[in-house]
Amino acid sequence: MEMKNLLLLFLLSAFVPLSALDIVLPENPHKYEKMAADELFEAFSKCGIPDLRITDYQSVNSPAIRLTSSKKEGNDESWQLKSSGKDLVITGASPIGTLYGAYALLRKAGVYFIAWDAAVYPDLSKWELPQLDERSAPAFSGRQIFNRYPNIFRDNRAKESDKKFWLYSLRNGFNGTTPVFNHKALYLGDEMRWTTRVHFCHNYYEYLRPDEYFADHPEYFSMNKAGKRDANPHRRGTQLCLSNPDVVRIVADKMKEFIRLDRENLPQDQWPLIYNLTPNDAANEICFCPPCKAVVAEEGCETGLLIRFTNAVARQVHEVYPGIRILTRAAMGSEKLPVTKPLPEVTVYYADDFTNASCFVPQTAERRENILRWVKAFDRPVIWDYWNMGLGAYFTPPRPEVVLDAMIDDVKWMAANGVVSLFTEAERDFLIPQNFLDLEFFVLAQLMIDPEQDAEKLIDIFLAGYYGKAAEPVKKYLSALRKGVKEHKGVQLCCAALRWDYLTAQFMLENYLVMQEALKLAADDPASLLRVKAECLPLFWSIVYYRRDTETLFAQNGITMAEVLDQLKEYSGQVLANFGFESRKLAAQQKKLSEKLMQLDANLAIPEKFAGIAGCRVFAWPHQKRVAHSKARPVEDKDALAGKSVMSNFHKSRKFSDRRTRSFTFYDYEQKRSIALNVDPVDEEYHWYTIKKVRVSKNSIFTAHLWMTQIDLSQAWEFPHAGREEVNDYDLHFRAKFTGPSFFPGSAKEDAVWVDLVVLVPEMKRD
């Protein structure tokens, strides 16, 4: 009995809540050890632990958290949590390991920094210091999400939001950023300490500039299939001639100059370790000159040419600056391994082919097999991944969707199969943001540190902390999206997702009502309420955008389209205002938002020639899809019936001689059906043209000028009740004009193709 009493007394004493806690700094602490102490103090204070103090190693009371560091070996960010009597010792590899250990302890206590503007601080008034003996390190050496937060905060002078973002990034273990923000990052790991001298990708012409060299040395630049050398100064569509030894020399000399400048202008602990040298964008091939083609033939793929060139540059650079690493990217779609391996000082990003891949489902078995071959063949394999990017061209129209399950599956697989670093490109749309993007950022951040964590538990932590009392209905909406994405039958591309199978009128009504419940539950918490409103935006947009499909069902439930549109306008404005932009900058962003919303309430009159025909649908500049790499845009035009016209002058005169520039097309993604009309322009005035017998679906477009102009027609689709598919049959009339000397020699106007209106006139009689 006495032994049992002693044991009980011991157990009770071991679990007495903390009445005081010392956080002990080591002798001569460096900045991250000081930050670890400050972060522990702040978090535990907010959690209700009494009598906290930060003290030095000579004045300590127990229990205490003792901070110390060990010597770093290589790219070491590890930490150890080890109990010592009543105390807990956090030891980390210098410089960052101790701070990472502090964050690991906070996670064990239930403290999470879930978003740039939100954190979870549980009640720890009855918490005790745990008994621990564990060592850990992040699963990925390089961890970065390119999400556009720093760009938007900088460009709109949101200083306080910017500070919060960088602290959030540190707290969640991100150790890289795009180089232009190196000076703002609170920590950069060795895997992503990039130079700021060049752009972090698509930067060949920053080492060898066309404006300096092309006139006298066109041989330095890539040759196309027709045997012509060219150089687009905007880093797009053309490359360098990678087999030319003079190109190697010039690029290596320029890189050495950049290294010298960095070392002259930065303290040694901030010297970049990595210099990016990556091909330009939007070019399907590198170079077709005979020497380059010979290298490709020997290597079996263009990536071999890329690696030979990068290796040659690296050898010359390392003669002067040993220890520097050069980062390049494998050419898009490079599935075949080259014969030549990269040197140890060359790192190759294996970039996902986002134009042909889906970010909404886990990588296919074939894709994973290809990645594994690269992982096994190359030292320090790195993946460049893409999500549903919120750039205008890729998120138009906005869609309710998530990448959550694909991301969880992929990151766990990558960690288990030797991927060293992960760079995720996932730009946020700041006007109508993607659903649950901050949740996905949080879960990815946690899994890059420890992929063995329970992802569903992390999701629940985020939902409760971010949406407060509304967490349950918000989770119901999230679950509906996850289920819908999983069950979608087709392939949705990262850059061109179409209308989802699940995005029916019934789905939209059910989830509109779910989110109305969430709004009510969050009504007394302004922060949670605003976050719920943000999640409503893509759904509400879709409800109004597809009003022909939704209006009747919503009306039957007492909800008008005007009501939903008013909510969308109000909520999107409030969400935008929350980012803390400078007033003048906020006004500019609000103008962009208003222009975007015009797609939904543009009052386009039916042209006089179609007056009296029931069921006509009118489309114009508000329905222009933003197309990647296109300069097609709405412009004021006094001759346009809509007031503005979609004008495309892409490629200027180079492409206007192509007969295809005179072609207009109706294309349906679901039927994979294209109907084209070739036009012979007669003057520089507007004329009406007709494409007969088109059947509109949920994913139909009208295109002009090599698809640079794309007018979205999906709003015209009507659910075919009783199988009456003919309700979606139309004749398509469009009003267009051609201008410029490529069409009319001697013209003083700009070469361009203009589209004013697209009118769908129903084949069947409408009441």
179 in a structural domain: no
The residue with greater pLDDT, 661 or 520, is: 520
Q: Are residues 588 and 686 in the same domain?
A: no
- Look-up of token digits 């007495």: 16
d(CA 16, CA 14) in angstroms, rounded, equals: 6
pLDDT digits (tens, 9 = 90+) for 201-218: 899 999 999 999 999 999
Most confident of the following: 246-255, 345-354, 650-659, 741-750: 246-255
Continuous H helices in 319-436: 365-377, 404-416
Domain count, the chain: 4
Q: Are residues 636 and 544 in the same domain?
A: no
Which pLDDT score, from 0 to 100, does residue 15 have?
46
d(CA 297, CA 171) in angstroms, rounded, equals: 48
Angle at 650 between CA 645 and CA 653, to 5 degrees: 110
Q: Which CATH number covers residue 42?
A: 3.30.379.10
Any bridge partners for residue 84, and if so which?
87
How buried is 385 (Cβ within 10 angstroms: 0-12 exposed, 13-18 middle, 19+ buried)? buried
Q: Are residues 579 and 703 in the same domain?
A: no
Q: Are residues 505 and 565 in the same domain?
A: yes
Whether residue 658 has pLDDT greater than 90: no
Q: How confident is the model at residue 9 (pLDDT cuts 50, 70, 90)?
A: very low
Q: Examine the fold and report which residue of 543, 575, 601 is the final residue of a domain before the chain moves on.
A: 601
d(CA 256, CA 320) in angstroms, rounded, equals: 8
460 in a structural domain: no
727 in a structural domain: yes
Q: Are residues 230 and 304 in the same domain?
A: yes
109 in a structural domain: yes
Q: Single out the residue of 754, 766, 731 nearest to residue 609, CA to CA.
A: 731
Instruction: Please report how many Cα atoms fall inside a 13 Å half-sphere around the Cα of residue 675, on the Cβ side.
Output: 17
In this prediction the pTM is 0.86
Q: Single out the residue of 193, 173, 195, 190 nearest to residue 76, CA to CA.
A: 190
CB proximity list for 448: less than 8 A, separation 6 or greater: 138, 139, 140, 143, 173, 411, 415, 422
For residue 654, the enclosing domain spans: 608-762
107 in a structural domain: yes
674 in a structural domain: yes
Q: Are residues 596 and 612 in the same domain?
A: no
Q: Examine the fold and report which residue of 601, 618, 652 is the final residue of a domain before the chain moves on.
A: 601
Assign 710 to helix, strand or coil: strand
Q: How confident is the model at residue 722 (pLDDT cuts 50, 70, 90)?
A: low
Q: Which two tokens stand for residue 371?
A: 């990645």
Q: Are residues 554 and 627 in the same domain?
A: no
Q: Which two tokens stand for residue 32?
A: 């991250």
Instruction: Please report how many Cα atoms fall inside a 13 Å half-sphere around the Cα of residue 508, on the Cβ side.
Output: 30
- Its sign, for the CA torsion 716, 629, 601, 618, is negative
Q: How confident is the model at residue 10 (pLDDT cuts 50, 70, 90)?
A: very low
d(CA 500, CA 12) in angstroms, rounded, equals: 57
d(CA 43, CA 49) in angstroms, rounded, equals: 9
Q: Are residues 127 and 23 in the same domain?
A: yes
Q: Are residues 118 and 90 in the same domain?
A: yes
Q: Are residues 245 and 316 in the same domain?
A: yes
The mean-pLDDT minimum among 324-338, 389-403, 736-750 falls in 324-338
Q: How confident is the model at residue 39 (pLDDT cuts 50, 70, 90)?
A: very high
Which pLDDT score, from 0 to 100, does residue 459 have?
99
pLDDT digits (tens, 9 = 90+) for 631-642: 788 999 999 999
Most confident of the following: 5-9, 44-48, 381-385, 709-713: 44-48
Which pLDDT score, from 0 to 100, does residue 283 have?
75
Whether residue 195 has pLDDT greater than 60: yes
Contacts 24+ apart (CB under 8 A), 654-660: 655/706, 656/740, 656/742, 656/743, 656/751, 657/742, 658/706, 660/706
d(CA 275, CA 260) in angstroms, rounded, equals: 12
Whether residue 656 has pLDDT greater than 80: no
Which pLDDT score, from 0 to 100, does residue 74 have?
66
171 in a structural domain: no
Which pLDDT score, from 0 to 100, does residue 1 have?
38
Which pLDDT score, from 0 to 100, does residue 17 have?
65
Q: Which two tokens stand for residue 235?
A: 């880093």
Q: How confident is the model at residue 649 (pLDDT cuts 50, 70, 90)?
A: confident
Q: What distances in angstroms separate CA 256 from CA 83, 214, 317, one per listed residue?
A: 49, 22, 6
Task: Kindly state the average pLDDT of the residues 29-46.
Answer: 97
How buried is 216 (Cβ within 10 angstroms: 0-12 exposed, 13-18 middle, 19+ buried)? exposed
557 in a structural domain: yes
Q: How far is CA 476 from the centre of its chain?
A: 25
Q: Examine the fold and report which residue of 347, 368, 401 is the final residue of a domain before the chain moves on.
A: 347
pLDDT digits (tens, 9 = 90+) for 319-333: 999 999 999 988 545
Q: Are residues 109 and 246 in the same domain?
A: no
Q: Are residues 503 and 573 in the same domain?
A: yes
Q: How far is CA 368 from the centre of its chain?
A: 21
